[in-house]
Structures are given as C-alpha cells and as structure tokens.
C-alpha cells in the first residue's frame, strides 16, 4: 500500500535496516527517519506500521508517511513485523510493541523523548497502531526491553479494523485461519483480545482517516470507534473521505488531495496531543 506524498517534504536523513530485535532466526528491522524540522530538545517519535492483512506488505510502504512525520519534527520509524501464515497471532502485536520498547530503550542514542511516542498505520497497520495506543505490553515476560512500556500516547488510524468480530463478510473468514491458526468459529477469544474496541477505556487520542467506499474494511468500523471514544471522552477526530475506497485516493486527484490533507491534519493532531 502506498501512502500519498505529503506536501513540501524535505528529504530526511535515514538509517536503513536497523535491527531492533531477533526472534528465533528472524531479524526484525526498522528504518529510522530523522526530523527535518528545527529541534528545540528531544524529538517526539512516530512509529509507522504497514498494512497488508497481517500477511503481506513491507515497512518501506510507509516511507512517505515517515517523511511527512519527519517534516513535522518527529523521529519516525517504519517497522517490520512477522507475517501470517508463517507466523501466527500474537507475533504481529508482540513485534510492533517490541519496536516501541526498543526506541524507548535507546532514547539517548536517538535524541528522542520516550514520553512522547505516537503510532500510525494503514489497514492492518492501523489496527496494530490502535493496539499500541490502547493496551500495554501483551506478553507478561517479554524477552526484549522488559523495563520499557509498549504503549504510545496518540494514534493515527488509517482505515484500520477496530473490531475483528463483526461487519466483515464470510468471504474474509480465511483470514482467521491464516492469522490465528483456527477457523473463525473457534477464534472468539483471540478476536476479542486482538480487537482495539476491547480496550476503549484505556484509549488515547486518536485521529481516523477512512473512505466511505472502502470495500475491505467497512467504514462503520471507524464510525463506531469514533462514537465509543467520544462516549469515553477520549480526544478523537476523523476525516471520512466521500467515495474513497481502501486506498490513498487512487487515480482521482481530488480524493488523493483529500487523503493527503487528512494525513497532514492527522500528524498535527497527534503532535498536539502528545503530552
């Protein structure tokens, strides 16, 4: 998935292929984009998480969003995580949580503020980003950086699913087998634990971007999420782009412009709400 280029980008310094953890024979990597905006102290952090139905995609898909975040003054890191069906849930959330803890553990090295960390992503990456904001470390005894928190302080959710147990057609049931290793009929507990909606009470400021014509993640997922956050009095804003599907606007210049402007607004929102 390609995230549309934000306006007026300055090319940041980038550290590629930074290994943040090893799990078995797998090296997990991130690419780090340094802020291009003037600094007045330790930088806030933006962790970008790629989409791909938890089965595909790559961290490089989020490079343009990271450039946009760097232009706002973030140190931005786009992170790799293990994919289904080779790896099963909760490998994906464990990996992105480890990435957050890695950055906090290396705050001095990267000149970042470990108390000002946000996350954002598209589709499955939006889902994982929501979980980064709504719950802390899933694994009670994590192998990597156990003294650090995995929880971020704000989220940019780009058409991510928030409730894995409803709204999706039966044709998507193969995902449960691929991701959880069992059919949907046997996945109720996993689905509840993997759904950001289960953790609303612990939610953080959230900015939502979603197209009204999304054919993969129904927009009702994001509308219901916003409603629940409003009810919980957690800061939330949303841009619902009329006629846009599960994309960055595709070949429609007006939708692409609206999407680009929504991401820009979303980055401003999370920067404002990082206390």
Measuring CA to CA, how many Å separate 241 from each of 62, 68, 134, 257, 263? Answer: 20, 20, 25, 10, 12
Percent of the chain with pLDDT over 90: 93
The pLDDT score that the predictor gives to residue 1 is 44
Residue 2 lies in a domain: no
pLDDT over 80 (residue 275): no
Whether the predicted pLDDT of 3 surpasses 60: no
- Determine, yes or no, domain membership for 6: no
Total of domains in the chain: 1
Does residue 51 form part of some domain? yes
How many other CB atoms are found less than 10 A from the CB of residue 40?
7
CATH of residue 95: 3.40.50.1820
Residue 9 lies in a domain: no
Whether 129 is covered by a domain: the verdict is yes
> Which range of residues forms the domain containing residue 26?
14-273
Rounded CA separation 78/55 (Å): 17
**Is residue 212 situated within a structural domain?**
yes
Kindly state whether residue 219 falls inside one of the protein's structural domains.
Answer: yes
pLDDT band of 2, cuts 50, 70, 90:
very low
In a domain, 3, yes or no: no
Average pLDDT over residues 244-261: 94
Q: Tell if the pTM clears 0.85, that is, is over it.
A: yes
pLDDT digits (tens, 9 = 90+) for 179-204: 999 999 999 999 999 999 999 999 99
The total number of residues shown for the chain amounts to 275
Q: Which of 168, 156, 130, 149 is nearest to 263 (CA)?
A: 156
């Amino acid at each position: 998935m390609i995230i549309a280029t934000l306006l007026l980008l300055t090319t940041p310094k980038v550290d590629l292929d930074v290994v943040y953890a090893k799990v078995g024979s797998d090296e997990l990597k991130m690419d780090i984009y340094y802020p291009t905006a003037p600094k007045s102290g330790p930088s806030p952090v933006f962790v970008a998480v790629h989409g791909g139905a938890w089965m595909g995609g790559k961290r490089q898909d989020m490079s343009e969003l990271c450039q946009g975040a760097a232009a706002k003054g973030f140190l931005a890191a786009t992170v790799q995580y293990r994919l289904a069906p080779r790896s099963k849930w909760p490998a994906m959330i464990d990996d992105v949580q480890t990435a957050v803890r890695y950055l906090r553990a290396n705050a001095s090295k990267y000149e970042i503020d470990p108390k000002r960390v946000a996350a954002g992503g598209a589709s499955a990456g939006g889902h994982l980003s929501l979980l980064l904001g709504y719950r802390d470390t899933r694994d009670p005894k994590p192998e990597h950086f156990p003294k650090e928190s995995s929880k971020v302080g704000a989220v940019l959710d780009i058409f991510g699913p928030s409730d894995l147990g409803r709204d999706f057609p039966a044709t998507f049931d193969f995902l449960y087998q691929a991701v959880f290793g069992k059919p949907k009929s046997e996945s109720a507990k996993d689905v509840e634990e993997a759904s950001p909606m289960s953790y609303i009470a612990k939610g953080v400021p959230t900015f939502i971007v979603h197209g009204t014509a999304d054919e993969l993640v129904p927009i009702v997922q994001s509308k219901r999420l916003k409603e629940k956050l409003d009810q919980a009095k957690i800061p939330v804003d949303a841009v619902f782009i009329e006629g846009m599907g599960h994309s960055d606007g595709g070949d429609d210049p007006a939708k692409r412009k609206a999407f680009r402007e929504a991401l820009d607004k979303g980055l401003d929102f999370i920067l404002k709400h990082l206390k």
